[in-house]
Each structure stands twice: as structure tokens, then as C-alpha cells.
Structure 1
Amino acid sequence: MPSLTRPPKVRQQRVDDLRDDFEQRVLVVLEDLLADGTPFTELAVQRIAKAANVARSTFYRYFPDKSQLLIRMADLATEDLFGAAEEWWRADHADAQVSVVAAMQRMIAGFREHRWVLVALNEVSAYDRDVGRYWRARVEGFMAVVCARLEAEQRAGTIDANLDVLATAIVLTSMVERSISVGFMSDAPIGDDQLAHALGRAIWLIVYGSGPDRSD
């Protein structure tokens, strides 16, 4: 007689799928609420839960507090843009600036798609201990990828041996983050494509500008 119960893996997959669907729905709802100018700190859980069409008790089961809510939403919102950058840093860079510009285009598109959550993240991380710790760890994790690549390039002799790896990683990360923030201002004088090409060129020159010619 066949079992009437689902195998554990099937049940867990079902639970994971339901959670993923719920989190994506909350992300869309939260971004819509933030887009009308309401600061994250002024958004009540009841309002978010109602907009997501879920009971507040169910909402709290997924997100114990608003800090955990923002952390999870930031995880979802930054997955693609960090992925684009990390993918480039792990690639072979044989196509010079072409792939780094493409990575910047993907990052900028990701920032633009989730800009309201990222604005909230930037604001709240300044005073919320949990959110601040999360964001610092995420950025530090990315910088570790950058540092590992720069160190590998130095060992291979393809970049300046005197380049300060950690300082350069900090400069590159801060430059991209701040440039995209400025580029998203309502009166920004440049478009996304211009910004992507300028950032791509700047990154390439900072990393390889004083090293051997890689164009051959």
C-alpha cells in the first residue's frame, strides 16, 4: 500500500517554495509602500501585513521584528547585484572593459529595481545594530572576493605589486556604491548606461592601469 504521507524532502521543498513566494510578495508590497515616500521606520507591521494579504501573526512567524524583515528583504534585493559584481571579479577578464561594464549595467539595474529597499537599508543601518551588522558583513564579504582577486593578480604579475589590496578594495566598493546613489538622484545629469561605462572604465584603470598591458 503506497504511503499517504509525503516524503520529508518533498514536504520541505513545499515549505521552502511557500516561504519563497511569501517573501517575494512581501518584497513587492514593501517596495510599493516605500515608493510613496513613507519612511521605513513609519511603516507599521499591520500595514505591511494587510497589504501582503496575510495575518499579522503569520507575518511575525516569518519576520520576528522589522529589523529581521529589512534584513531579509535586503538579502533578496541585493542578491542579483552582488552576484553580478562577484561574477566579474571571479572571471578571467580577457575581454578587458567589456565584461566589467556589463556587470555595472546589471548592478545598476538591480539598484534601480529595488532602490526603495536599498534606501531604507542605508538609513536604518546607521542606527539599528542588527541591520548595521548585517550590512557590514555583506559588504565585507564582497570586499573579501575583491581582495582575493587582487592578491591573485599580484601573484600572477598582472597588476602592480605595490598596489594596496585592502585600500583598493575599499575604494572600489565605496566608489561604486556612492556613484550609483548619486546617479539615482532625480536631477542626475547622466543616464544609467553612461554611469555603467564610466564605472567600468574607472574600475579597470584602478586595477590594471599601472600593470602590464592586457590588451594583447
Structure 2
Amino acid sequence: MPSLTRGPKNARKQVDDRRVEFERRVLRAVEELLADGTPYTEIAVQKIAAASGSARSTFYRYFPDKSQLLIRMAELATADLFDAAETWWRADHDDMAGVVRAIGSMIAGFREHRYLLLALSEVAAYDRDVGRYWRGRVASFVDVVRTRLKTDRAAGRIDSSVDPIATAVVLTAMVERSITAAFAANSVVTDEALAESLGRAIWLVVYGDAPEA
């Protein structure tokens, strides 16, 4: 019996591996095409397929349109970026250095995929599917922050006047817009300075008026 199940499982794994490899090729191709400043909307599907070394028919089998392509590419590009911040929000908070490190990891992830993420921010403003995806992704992060703030307030670790929902929205928007603004323009702010400033701002908003231990 084991031999009967091994084949299908191995076949599924091979299919999954091929999909992952294909998607990462497409991600690299899209980022290279965006790097010269060409807007995402002006990059033809045929050009993306050719740059990724795939047939147009294969491309459409995975991505029915460019909106779905951008959404999937964003999922790949932001996986580690969000994970670093979410890990900090779920971990013990000892000092400001921890949040600075988490924000630093987010900034590093954004820099690696900056062309795609800037395109995502632009397209999300007018494309319904992309906008819905991105708002949902940000909302899930807001919920992580809100849950932690609610728990810390109940435990007396932060001031009782802190509103978990409003504060979670403010902090998330601050980080998202600050990083996007820094990368969208020819900013003179270094990644390290940006991480320090954002980390300090988050720490002070949450714990700056915390009750004395």
C-alpha cells in the first residue's frame, strides 16, 4: 500500500516545486522590468513571459491577468517582510532595540523588492482586485497589533488610555507610508536611520507612558 501513495505524493511535490520555481522566475523578471522606471501597467504580458523564459500559454495558466500576477508576486515579496514585524509583535517586548531590529528587517525586505512593492502601492489605488488584496493584507497586520495592544493593556503593561484599534491603525499606516515615501523619492535618509526613527516612534507611542513596574 505505501508504494501506491508514494507516486501521487511525489507527483504533487514535483508540480508544487515547478510552480514555485516558475513563480520566482516571473518575480525576478517583473522586478527587472520595473527597475528602469517603466510603470507596471505599461509592461505587456508577452514581455514578462519572454523575460521569465516562459511561453505565454504557460503564463496564463498560472496568472489569468496582470492583477492576479501582481497579487501573487506581492505575496512572495512580502512574506518575510511582514513575518519580521509580526514576530516582534507576538514576542516579549523588553526594549526599543527589538522593534528597531524588526523594522530594520522590514526595510531590508522592502529594499530587496522595492520596485514591485512601489508598483503594488500605485496599482492598489485604482485596481479593485489589487486594492482589495493589499487592504486585506494590511488589515491582517493591524489585527496582530491590535490583539497585542489589547492584551498588554489588560495586563497593565501599557497605559489604560491607549486605544488598541486606533493605535494599531496609526502605527501600521505610519510604518507603511514612511517606508514607501522613503523609497519612492530620492531620500537622503539611510535605512538604519529610518529603522531607528520608526522603532523609536513605535516604542514611545506604545510604552512611552506605560505604568511604572
TM-score bracket, shorter-length normalisation = over 0.9
Answer yes or no: is the 8 Å Cα contact 2:142–2:168 preserved in 1: yes
Q: CA deviation at 1:213?
A: 4.3
1:105 matched to 2:107? The reply is no
* Separation in 1, partners of 2:184, 2:154: 40
Root mean square deviation, CA, Å: 1.6
Q: CA deviation at 1:160?
A: 1.1
* Separation in 2, partners of 1:208, 1:163: 10
Q: CA deviation at 1:182?
A: 2.5
Question: Could you tell me the percent identity over the aligned residues?
Answer: 63
Residue 123 to residue 3, structure 1, CA distance change in 2 (3 Å): same
Q: CA deviation at 1:3?
A: 5.9
Which residue number in structure 1 is paired with residue 174 of structure 2? 175
Which residue number in structure 1 is paired with residue 50 of structure 2? 50
Which residue number in structure 1 is paired with residue 72 of structure 2? 72
* Separation in 2, partners of 1:5, 1:75: 31
Please state whether the residue corresponding to 2:88 is helix, strand or coil. helix
Residue 50 to residue 5, structure 1, CA distance change in 2 (3 Å): farther
Please state whether the residue corresponding to 1:36 is helix, strand or coil. coil
Answer yes or no: is the 8 Å Cα contact 2:74–2:116 preserved in 1: yes
Richer in helix (by share): 2
- Structure 2: runs of 5+ lacking an equivalent: none
Q: CA deviation at 1:189?
A: 2.6
Q: Which amino acid aligns with 1:26?
A: V
1:131 matched to 2:140? The reply is no
Q: Which amino acid aligns with 1:98?
A: A
Q: CA deviation at 1:128?
A: 0.9
* Separation in 1, partners of 2:212, 2:21: 48
Q: Which amino acid aligns with 1:202?
A: A
The number of residues matched between the two structures is: 212
- Structure 1: runs of 5+ lacking an equivalent: none
Answer yes or no: is the 8 Å Cα contact 2:159–2:209 preserved in 1: yes
Q: Which amino acid aligns with 2:116?
A: V
Q: TM-score, normalised by structure 1?
A: 0.94
Please state whether the residue corresponding to 1:184 is helix, strand or coil. helix
* Separation in 1, partners of 2:74, 2:53: 21
Q: TM-score, normalised by structure 2?
A: 0.95
1:21 matched to 2:21? The reply is yes
* Separation in 2, partners of 1:3, 1:109: 45
Answer yes or no: is the 8 Å Cα contact 2:118–2:184 preserved in 1: no
Which residue number in structure 1 is paired with residue 208 of structure 2? 209
Answer yes or no: is the 8 Å Cα contact 2:107–2:179 preserved in 1: yes
Q: CA deviation at 1:86?
A: 0.2
Runs of 4+ in 1 over 4 A off after TM superposition: 2-6
Q: CA deviation at 1:7?
A: 2.0
**Cα-to-partner distance string for 1:23-63 (whole Å, 9 max, x where unaligned):** 11100100000001111101110000011111000000010
Q: CA deviation at 1:178?
A: 1.4
* Separation in 2, partners of 1:145, 1:5: 39
Residue 92 to residue 45, structure 1, CA distance change in 2 (3 Å): same
Q: CA deviation at 1:185?
A: 4.5
Residue 186 to residue 129, structure 1, CA distance change in 2 (3 Å): closer
